[in-house]
Structure 1
């Protein structure tokens, strides 16, 4: 699999990475064995970028990654996140003391001396206007506990503000055929500043896999059930903020232009990789077969102009009014 530079970090990472939210929680239960199998499958398929967070399963995701890597010779880039353990989750609580406490816990969970990359985990808007937060991250890097830092954001506006800080080397953001706004201004600014772009929620919580239908049911502990209207966290994280029925209609329309032998998920990932600003994509999965299919998307031929046009029309018809002004 081809690699792309991750901003100024010096890391070259696989075009397809692995998101491990599913391996910690909020997507239904997953056993240690199944989580280990998923991580092993990703590494065996050539994935060199793993993304996690300290709140995924209250640290389970980090610990499972650490356990697998402890038994292998692989040396992937492991990115984690910090901040969402704050309760209440308020900008004023993003202090050096709290951030260092979270970083130390993640270092222990992952079994490393220094974190490859730590990202602020979708913090409140005011955090981006508090230089002392980024000073604290600089100090953690200077102390040897963090190699690089970035941010994970909900909104384009937050991403644009974050990259005004010289130390921010990466931005993680939602981008897919149903959430296209980042491609307008943010991607251009990220490239101008040589900031790495990590794309999350690429398959819109399963909508863009073609596997969901109006009859699909989700468990009580699956965010696609309990966060459908943003009850637990930003609704943009669930189905990319698209009403479920509109998302299904959009997926059906996209299916009409997917080439034979290619899945809708693979088509979607290849569409995302068409944007040069993207460093890596982190689809999540518990299933080794799905992970291998995702990796195969990186080898697909480029999309045609007609396919790009159809994706744009689908966005305008089913998604733009719901999402473009919000994120």
Structure 2
């Protein structure tokens, strides 16, 4: 197993600085064979990439993880050396202790574990203050040892400050962060640094758009060309950021940097975000069980890469001409709340 850099969260859990994202088994990226997906997880763990990110709403993701976890446990007879970070994304409604317990028990059962390594809580509507009630119960369950790390997903800085002000310890906040979307640097970053909160980032590769595959390519349009949920989502971000022409300039700059460093555009894009203050880890989506969809080598290369002043200068020359997404969209997660 390779030596992959790790980061320790507030409650003591160590996770890899690159996490395996399981949104891509949700069904929004094409069909997935659960049996093949379970088998494919071995190659990530054998490469040292032992941290998996999922959610209760990602189709069979928790069940796939649970089957894999149980297989590892059966093989070794010991606690498997993997970390399962899940999310609870409740619908609006009562948030009493029983509701919270039922949700957590559902994840425990699907993931076949006695304790959840990390629960990342998402909330759709800030005007409904029951998110504080839910987090209070989750915090109690953390004290009881049912949850190791209590974290958030797509919360903005204002609400993060409110929650920590209530005495609730938050380990991490999962937010979109990439060369295209640099909103976390505006407000979130400083607050997290001041309060010992890690940022776990997604969208860092733009659903695959930040790659050689799209360098020099005519702008993709429509569902036939933007054929996964990720491609459609991040193409919209590119449109808001500066459009396809400027994006091509960014890809060209990244390609120059990549060739200079004997790596891929994906490795450069990942390293750039790993180097940002407060970023604990980057989540790289994996289409488990789909031949040719593994990007383990690019992920591992990111750890060896050191972006030098000339590399950063080449990238920043393009970035400074892009639009400010903070003023267009709002703080982290605001795109999910209208």
Interval containing the TM-score (normalised by the shorter chain): 0.7 to 0.9
Q: Is it true that 1:76 corresponds to 2:78 in the alignment?
A: no
Task: Provide the rounded CA distance (Å) in 2 between the counterparts of 1:128 and 1:5.
Answer: 32
Q: d(CA) in 2 for partners of 1:47 and 1:171?
A: 20
Higher mean C-alpha displacement, 46-55 vs 161-170: 161-170
* 8 A contact 2:95–2:130 mirrored in 1: no
Q: 1:191: Cα distance to partner? A: 2.0
Q: Deviations over 1:2-27 (max 9, x none)?
A: 43333312122222111110122211
In the alignment, what sits opposite 1:233? none
Map 1:198-237 onto structure 2 (within 5 A): 198-212=200-214, 213=217, 214-215=219-220, 218=223, 222-224=228-230, 228=232
Give CA-to-partner distance per residue, 1:235-262, whole Å, 9 cap, x none: xx54472227357423344323323431
- Supply the distance in 2 between the matched residues of 1:294 and 1:315 (Cα, whole angstroms): 23
Specify the alignment match of 2:334 in structure 1.
none
Please, what TM-score do these two structures have when normalized by structure 1? 0.83
Alpha-carbon offset, residue 93 of structure 1: 4.1
The within-5 A match list for 1:1-327 is: 1-57=3-59, 60-72=60-72, 73=76, 74-84=80-90, 86=91, 90=92, 92-126=93-127, 130-153=131-154, 155-164=156-165, 165-212=167-214, 213=217, 214-215=219-220, 218=223, 222-224=228-230, 228=232, 238-239=234-235, 241-243=237-239, 245=244, 248-249=247-248, 250-260=250-260, 261-286=262-287, 289-300=294-305, 302-318=306-322, 320-322=323-325, 325-326=328-329, 327=331
Q: CA deviation at 1:179?
A: 1.2
The Cα offsets for residues 155-188 of structure 1, whole Å up to 9 and x where unpaired, read as 4544454444432111111111111121243222
Q: TM-score, normalised by structure 2?
A: 0.80
Q: Distance in 1 between matches of 2:155 and 2:236?
A: 10
Unaligned stretches of 5+ residues in structure 1: 229-236
Please state how far the C-alpha of 1:265 moved relative to its aligned partner: 0.5
Q: Secondary structure, in 3 states, of the residue corresponding to 2:145?
A: coil
Count of aligned positions: 308
Q: Which residues of structure 2 form unaligned runs of 5+?
A: 332-338
Contact persistence 1:121–1:153 (CA under 8 A): yes
CA distance, structure 2, for counterparts of residue 2 and residue 278 of structure 1? 16
Work out which of the two has the higher radius of gyration on C-alpha atoms and give 1 or 2. Answer: 2
Mapped contact 1:196–1:279 kept (Cα < 8 A):
yes
Give yes or no for contact 1:42–1:291 (8 Å, CA) kept in 2.
yes
Query: Quick one: structure 1 residues 128 and 116, their matched pair in 2 at CA, closer, same or farther if it must change by over 3 Å?
Result: farther
Report the Cα distance in structure 1 between the residues aligned to 2:304 and 2:296, rounded to whole angstroms: 14
- CA displacement at 1:56 relative to structure 2: 0.4
Instruction: Please say if residues 41 and 292 of structure 1, whose CA atoms lie closer than 8 Å, have aligned partners that are also in contact.
Output: no
CA distance in 1, matches of 2:29, 2:95: 27
Q: 1-side partners of 2:136 and 2:274: how far apart?
A: 33
Higher mean Cα deviation, 14-23 or 135-144?
135-144
Distance in 1, Cα, partners of 2:53 & 2:270: 17
Q: Answer whether contact 2:85 2:118 (CA < 8 A) is retained.
A: yes
Contact residue 171 and residue 196 of structure 1 kept, 8 A: yes
Residues 285-294 or 26-35, more deviating: 285-294
Give the secondary-structure state (helix, strand or coil) at the position aligned to 2:258.
coil
Distance 2:266 2:64 in 1: 26
